[in-house]
Amino acid sequence: MSENDGPAVIYKEANPYETLLTLAKSRYSCRAFEARPVARNDIERILEIARTAPSDCNTQPASIFIISGLALEGLRSEIYEAAATGIERTSDIPPIVAYTGVFQERRRECGWALYNAVGVERGDRDGSGRQALENFRFFGAPHLAVVTSHKDLAERGLFDTGIYLGHLLLGAQAMGVAAVAQGSIAHYADVIRKYAPISTDLRVICGVSFGYEWKDHSANSFRTGRMELDETAVFVD
């Protein structure tokens, strides 16, 4: 190497565990997005990671529909109106009837953390209602991924599609793309089907709004906690 070649750059081999841990711990549910779209090539790179997810006997039950542009704007308008006016819900997956015990506590903690971040005080039902409806604006995201599973695979298909969803969210994080998984929009499956060719053989499980985070928005200023390892894992020797 001549003296004009500049200093040598020494690359350290990445530690796969540390890389994955960093991605997992930095991921969060984004609730305010910039309007600028994600390049098609980058979306495909995220999906390339998602499709590596394992499944029972390699059945690969997950199918995903990416809605953007005018189709998304039409869906955003109609599904918001449906939620705001209380039209009858049409869910392919039965909703949780009631949250109980510690699950209700965690749900409340998450909700109040969000409301506190955006300035909604306890007891302000109008304010909390308005914030809840932002789910149906997809928080301003330029893209919506509708995640589905084939009905013939029943609960096993739902389980395996959940693994696919986890890969999808980590893939987005690896690409610097913010995302939020949304179960609430799946309660309007019939509305969604107006804007995407989702057959009735496929069950709408959830949506994933994604794009680039609005960094200065107060809705993105909080993070949810996680249980400690000794509360979630049992080692049996």
Model confidence at 12: pLDDT above 80: no
- Give how far Cα 82 sits from Cα of 126, 128, 138, Å: 18, 18, 14
What's the pLDDT tens digit per position in 93-125?
998 999 999 999 999 999 888 988 888 888 888
- What tokens were used for 30? 């984004």
- The radius of gyration computed from the CA coordinates of the chain, to the nearest angstrom, equals 20
d(CA 160, CA 151): 13
Q: Is the per-residue pLDDT at 27 higher than 70?
A: yes
pLDDT at 1 over 50: no
**Whole-number pLDDT of residue 229:** 93
Mean pLDDT of 150-160: 96
**Structural tokens at position 147:** 């995640």
Amino acid 14: pLDDT:
79
Q: Is the pLDDT of residue 152 over 70?
A: yes
Who's near 104: CB < 8 A, 6+ residues apart? none
| The total number of residues written for the chain in this structure | 237
Q: What is the pLDDT of residue 6?
A: 46
Q: Could you tell me the pLDDT band of residue 8, with boundaries at 50, 70 and 90?
A: low
Per-residue pLDDT tens over the stretch 162-202: 999 999 999 999 999 999 999 999 999 999 999 999 999 99
Average pLDDT over residues 149-169: 97
Contact assessment for residue 178 and residue 172, using Cβ atoms and an 8 Å cutoff? yes
* DSSP character string of 182-226: ESGGGGBHHHHHTTS---TTEEEEEEEEEE-B-TT-GGGS-----
CA distance 62 to 55: 9
CA 25 to chain centre: 15
Lowest-pLDDT range of 50-59, 157-166, 215-224: 215-224
> What are the pLDDT digits (tens) for 32-78?
999 999 999 999 999 999 999 999 999 999 999 999 999 999 999 99
100: which DSSP letter?
-
Give the mean pLDDT of 122-144. 93
In this prediction, residue 4 carries a pLDDT of 45
Question: Cα separation of 115 and 112, whole Å?
Answer: 5
What pLDDT shows up at residue 7?
A: 47
pTM comes to 0.90
Across-strand partners of 182? 207
